[in-house]
Amino acid sequence: MVFSGAAFLFYFLPLALALNALAPGRWKNAALFLCSLVFYAWGEPVYVLLLLFSSVADYLCGLLAESQRGRTGAKWALGLSLFVNLSLLGAFKYAGLFVSSFNTLTGLQLPVPQLRLPIGISFYTFQTMSYTIDVYRGRVRAQRDFIAFAAFVSMFPQLVAGPIVRYSDIENSLLDRRATLRDYSDGAWRFTVGLSKKLLLANAAGQAFENIRQTAFSDLGAAAAWLGIVCFFFQIYFDFSGYSDMAVGLGRMLGFTFPENFDHPYASTSVTEFWRRWHMSLSAWFRDYVYIPLGGNRKGLKRQILNLLITWLLTGLWHGAGWNFALWGLYYFAFLALEKLWLGKRLQRAPRAVGWAYTLLVTLVGWTLFAFDSAREGGQYLLRMFAGAPLLSGGFLYRFRSLWPLLPLMALAASPLPARLWGMCAKRMGEKAAGALRLLAMAALLLLSIASVASGGYDPFLYFRF
Amino acid sequence: MRKVSLAGAAAVLFTALLVLPSFLSLLLPDRYVSERERRGLQQRPTFSAAGLLSGRYMQELETYFSDQLPLRDGLASLNAGLSFCLGQREFASFYVGDGRLLQAQRGLNQEDMEKNLSYVEALAASLDVPVTLALAPGSAEIYPEALPYGGMEDDLSPLYDSAKGRAFSLLDLRPALLAHKNEDIYFKTDHHWTSLGAAYAWAAYAEQNGIDALPLGEYEERPLSDTFYGTGWAAVGLPGLPADTLFSYDGGQPLKLTQNGDEKERDGLLFEEHLNSADPYAVYLNGNQPLITIQGGAANGRRLLIVKDSFANCLAQFAATDVERVDLIDLRAFRGDVASYAREMGATELLVLYNIKNFCEDKNLYLLKKGS
């Protein structure tokens, strides 16, 4: 089920919230688990078994790792968990890529598996792996209550598009949680903001990008190509951060506190900073479970660069089973390594605007690798942007003028400015007036979002390859 | 205390706005069609285990929920209004232009054009009566100045030019229509030309083919409906667009019409029962019928076969007045052999009449080759 559809908003969500409110304390996890199963089965009726399988496997591995702590049994439990989760990912996400690449390299004609990717698999396998690793390391206690554990794995607010919630983040609220009226209304506001980002901004930007990408590349002028990737740049931000806002808001309404996932990434003044503000739960996951275990920066510069390379190759591939995603990861590796070795210090001394412009340019070009189905297509698009395509052809003026009120609005909404302004206003006006203003804003945004759902317009789901 | 009451108000507002739509749609009866969008709405899907496992049941339920949302038409207008405010001027391939909605005709393909031209040539080669191809321009070609932000239309002259010098004669309708662009020759909310536009197009055909046409001034013009909202209106969905008027033109001769080879003959070419339907343009010739035969008003021995799309539907009233018999074939539904049909009816001339976009994109014109 997607958050931006009528089934979720008008049927599932009210029922899930009612069930959560009615269920007494120790039944809340059962209610959440049940809701989450329905939520997942709605879009993936068969693959819900996979989710259950992963939950049972890690539930058992966690128990085993704890009872065998300090003995080889614990290592076996950890190994089994990693094996199960990575096999699931390997089989359902990467098998097609590996077999077809193998065929290309060897000239063989092995049949390429055509499995549809189970939505959210990259999120929940990463969550369960981090759980077993943390139990193995003694950072968290194993969860004995299977329903509580399954509720953690399948939790619908963040199941299909993150953030990646670690068991340690919500261990306490899993056992005892209470959403106050304040939590409920703040969560509802956060959800509304996320829903509006998705429906009102991301979809409009996405439609504009889609229109431009469908122009034959040979007709695409340089300015239109740039405009297209700027639209994608906004689409992916508002879509992804909108989903995270909705997840955080829903979590809050249910009594959880999820980690934040985006912190105005497009205001960053270096690529290193960008990745501290973009999809923060993923970067932190790779840092804690790949980069640091590999040795991080503790084994000398050469080893550190190698560790970065491995981490970013995997980060790229996490976003989709395609070599363009690997390339996209390596692209970021190159800039991160460059900043570590040389550029970082210079950027700090330069005016902030320089760092900001540089970071924007790097991210914009990066998205061309991400936005297309293959590196080849992305490369052709880059050629239109850089290699002397006629400037204004491909209907640039028409397209630009169709977007000009939207573009500055999106730029403003992506900047830290609204949050700062809101803080200042709230201080001036007093809490009561600010609360009333927020109430009005919520009513208006919800109404416009519902109107967008009712119109049944363009509403893509971007995370089907994650 | 005050903090709590504001938080309470927010909680109630949020919950109410989500619960209200589902609650109301449980109370209200389901709708079958949306008059606004001219389409059928998803009905409650029937449950089946197979549908559940494949996910089709859930997809249909999702569409059902959004199709049956209460106040859906008003909400969709609100959404279109917001998009318009944010700069969008194109909705489902209709431009919102200066005073009119114009169908986008970009991206037409020379290869497709070539293929369809060759089918018309094949037909012309197999018949020994004159064949004319007339391509009706879209309103964006006649009123380019009305396009929003200058529009994004391609120059279509290479397509028109490629139809010249063939085994059939080309009738370029653009000059005839451009000469009258200050009159209401295209609908403001629909992609078709009006009856008046069709009259000028017919006059151009009559002149090129030496037909003694009844002057436009001799026709009696009658408004059929002044609240016609066309296909563009349905696609765009903005509130406050002006309505069009549908006219009929009566040349004073009795015209007899039969549909699809029926026995039953009827008087006149109008089907006024469509005026209050989702498709009022079907008032002309009952919409797109596979085959229409009209006993015309002029005893001049001319028998005209028109192979056409819907642009010919409102032109028939003029053609039928000026010749002895007109037959109209719509290849989207007609499955006979056009060349044999032309011989059978004793056609003295043949007109292939399509809108340029439709002609380029049509996938049925290959049927012209059949039997030729």
- Report CA-CA distances (Å) from A169 to A130, A140, A251, B51: 11, 10, 12, 38
Write down the pLDDT at residue A176: 86
What are the tens digits of pLDDT across the range A316-344? 999 988 899 999 999 999 999 999 988 98
Compute the distance between CA of residue B309 and CA of residue B331 in angstroms, rounded to an integer: 8
* Listed residue (A270, A224, A241) closest to A413, CA to CA: A241
The answer to whether A307 and A295 are in contact (CB under 8 A) is yes
- Determine the average pLDDT of the residues in A412-430: 91
Question: Scanning every residue of chain A, which has its alpha carbon at the shortest distance from the alpha carbon of B49?
Answer: A45
pLDDT bin (cut points 50, 70, 90) of residue A272 is very high
Contact indicator for A153, A51 with CB cutoff of 8 Å: yes
**Can you give the pLDDT at residue B229?**
92
Note whether A439 contacts B88, CB cutoff 8 Å: no
Tell me the pLDDT tens digit for each residue of B151-199. Answer: 999 999 999 999 999 989 999 999 999 999 999 999 999 999 999 999 9
Are A45 and B79 within 8 A, CB to CB? no
Cα A426 from Cα A377, distance rounded (Å): 47
What's the rounded Cα separation, in Å, for the pair B352 and B330? 10
Average pLDDT, chain A: 92
The Cα–Cα gap between B307 and B299 comes to 22
Chain A nearest CA to B18, separation (Å): 5
A319 carries an active-site annotation? yes
Domain ranges of chain A: 6-177, 183-455
Taking only Cα atoms into account, the Rg of chain A, rounded to an integer number of angstroms, comes to 23
Percentage of residues of chain A with pLDDT beyond 90: 72
Tens-place pLDDT, residues A9-24: 999 999 999 999 999 8
Average pLDDT for chain B: 91
Q: Is the pLDDT of residue B372 over 80?
A: no
Average pLDDT of span B251-280: 89
Cβ of B79 within 8 Å of Cβ of A457? The answer is yes
| Predicted pLDDT at A112 | 85
Q: Rounded to an integer, what distance in angstroms lies between the CA atom of residue A185 and that of residue B15?
A: 10
Average pLDDT over residues B2-28: 85
Query: Do B324 and B301 touch, CB atoms closer than 8 A?
Result: yes
- The phi, psi pair for B266, rounded to 5°, reads -125, 160
Return the pLDDT at B371: 60
Is 70 exceeded by the pLDDT of residue A161? yes
Lowest pLDDT segment from A204-208, A400-404, B52-56:
B52-56
CA atoms lying within 13 Å on the CB side of residue A148: 15
Q: Do B75 and A6 touch (CB under 8 A)?
A: no
Shortest Cα distance, chain B CAs vs residue A410, angstroms? 11
| Closest by Cα among A449, A464, A451 to A199 | A449
The pLDDT of residue B1 is 45
Cβ-defined contact of B88 to A192 (cutoff 8 Å): no
Among partner residues A7, A10, A442, which is closest to B13 by beta-carbon distance? A442
- Identify the residue among A450, A452, A464 best suited for mutation to test binding to B, counting B beta carbons within 10 A and taking the highest: A450
Q: Tell whether the model's pLDDT for residue A116 goes beyond 80.
A: yes
Q: A216 falls in which pLDDT band (50, 70, 90)? A: confident
Q: Average pLDDT, stretch A202-226?
A: 90
Q: Is the pLDDT of residue B370 over 80?
A: no
Task: Give Cβ neighbours of residue B216 (< 8 Å, ≥ 6 apart).
Answer: B199, B203, B249
> So what's the pLDDT on residue A387?
85
- Whole-angstrom distance between the N-terminal and C-terminal Cα of chain B? 87
Of the listed ranges A25-29, A128-132, B318-322, the least confidently predicted one is A25-29
In this predicted model, what pLDDT tens digit does every residue of B283-330 receive, in sequence order? 999 999 999 999 988 889 999 999 999 999 999 999 999 999 999 999
Higher-confidence residue of A26 and A165: namely: A165
> E strand or H helix at A48, and its extent?
helix A48-67
- Cα-Cα end-to-end distance for chain A: 16
How far, CA to CA in Å, does A145 sit from each of A11, A49, A134, B312?
A: 29, 19, 17, 73
Distance, CA of A359 to CA of A233 (rounded, Å): 13
Is B3's pLDDT higher than 60? no
Write out the two tokens for A64: 């085993």
